[in-house]
Amino acid sequence: MLGALPSPGLTGRRSVLAALGVAAAALRPLLCGLPGCRAPRRGLGQEPRQHPDSRLQLRLPEAAEAARLVLERARSSPPLRRFIACPDLARAVHASLECGPARGPEPVVLECEPGPGVLTRTLLNAGARVVALESDRAFLPDLQSLENSLHGQLEVVYCDFFRLDPLGCGSMKPPAMYSEKLFENLGILTVPWTADVPVKIIGFLPQKKERNTLWKLIFVMYERSSIYRYGRIELNMFVSEKEYKVLTAKPGELRSYQALSVLWQTACEIQLLHMEPWSSFLTNSKTRGLAIPKSTLLPNDHLCLVRMTPQRNLFTGGMTTTNSSTFILMVKQCLAKRKSKLIDRLNSWSPGSGSKLLRELEIPENIITGNLYPEEYRRLFEAMEHSKEFSQSWLYDEVLENNRNINF
């Protein structure tokens, strides 16, 4: 739960949205700085391109060879990771990603945790320029040898993408680092939010931190901090089928329609690029087990390659980087109980104001929070931002109980 808001006995005007904003401010240290990675070398995408047919094609390791490589390099108790080991699967993934030579500037491709590099080589063979972010030193020698043979098409960095800008400040060693330093060293420049996608990121969401990672990413996207300082960064991530169902759930699907559903659908265009059974992927488990996460309420038989492209118009209308974290907390509170009436939630924030607000927005007064569309949540938020009634309202203490124990 989140921290307690000021009681109604305090002096001054108490806005429901300002109150949420106070709690949101406590969450802003989600991402804080780290030391640098490597000295600047060049700006990616600036070298002349070659057509993929004009260069020698890299040999792709067979699945058994990749499996042997992973097992040889696995530590005694490594964090669970999955890899693409089959060349045919790598080619299918590449076809879905649409990464390769194109006219004009093309996005930088960041591949997270390439491991044996089967997908890496597939992308390189197609003419893409790739930055490989690898957090396990055991895989670095092979990747760096490949880097040295390609004259600028591949850049290898000792880095854990999912540990960029961790909570807390101060000195820290790679593979954790500042996103600012990483992007600076790679020559990636900030572009306007409405510009084309400057960077495509490819990888697997960490299985044990999948939900937390989705929350962290959505928070920094709405605040345009961390990687999103540089523009509309496109994520192409393998996620579990159950989390994909949550991301794309529709109103009325009360088992899966959650705050994450509304927030991601509001912020991004979400596309399913590919579905693959868990058994198609290699793990670094010493037992070679599949380690499939359990799911009782939602199907979870596949890994889903999902493209999440931020909307150009996300920061238009009443949505800004200043109040967007307030929108996140409003949605979380509304969908904490998906069968509760929306008007009751509104009246708890500003007694007697809910009916008028819903009539203005042409939303039925008897609607439950789990039946409201993402675009309606955004309209509701923007209307509350401009409402005199809500600017003078206060929230009950139960809304945000303890911001120190927030659990994404």
Q: Is 84 annotated as a binding-site member? A: yes
Helix (H) or strand (E) holding 111: strand 108-112
CB count within 10 Å of CB 41 equals 11
- Condensed to tens digits (0 to 9), the pLDDT of residues 61-96 reads 888 888 887 777 766 667 889 999 999 999 999 999
Report the range of poorest mean pLDDT among 130-144, 165-179, 301-315, 335-349.
165-179
DSSP secondary structure code for residue 265 in this structure: H
294: tokens are: 């359990």
pLDDT at 350 over 70: yes
Q: 371 pLDDT exceeds 80?
A: yes
Domain range annotation of the chain: 16-28+326-405, 32-310
In which band, very low, low, confident or very high, does the pLDDT at 55 lie, cut at 50, 70 and 90?
A: low
pTM of the model as a whole: 0.83
Rg (alpha carbons) of the chain, rounded to whole number: 23
The angle at the Cα of 67, spanning 61 to 68, to the nearest 5 degrees, equals: 95
Q: What is the pLDDT of residues 311-339, one digit of tens each?
A: 999 999 889 999 998 899 999 999 999 99
Q: What angle do CA 372, 373, 378 make, to 5 degrees?
A: 100
| CATH architecture of the domain with residue range 32-310 | 3-Layer(aba) Sandwich (3.40)
pLDDT of 38 higher than 60? no
pLDDT, tens only, 161-205? 999 998 766 677 889 999 999 999 999 999 999 999 999 999 999
pLDDT, position 54: 47
Q: What is the mean pLDDT of the chain?
A: 83
pLDDT band at 39 (very low <50, low <70, confident <90, very high): very low
If you average pLDDT over residues 91-106, what whole number do you get? 78
pLDDT at 100: 60
Question: CA-to-CA distance for 198 and 193, rounded, in angstroms?
Answer: 10
Is 397 marked within a binding site?
no
What tens digit of pLDDT does each residue of 266-295 get?
999 999 999 999 999 999 886 667 788 888
User: What confidence category does residue 407 fall into, taking pLDDT thresholds of 50, 70 and 90?
Assistant: very low
The owner of tokens 């923007």 is 382
Contact 106, 98 (CB under 8 A): no
The DSSP annotation for 68-84 comes to HHHHHH--SSPPP-EE-
Of the listed ranges 69-78, 120-129, 380-389, 391-400, the least confidently predicted one is 391-400
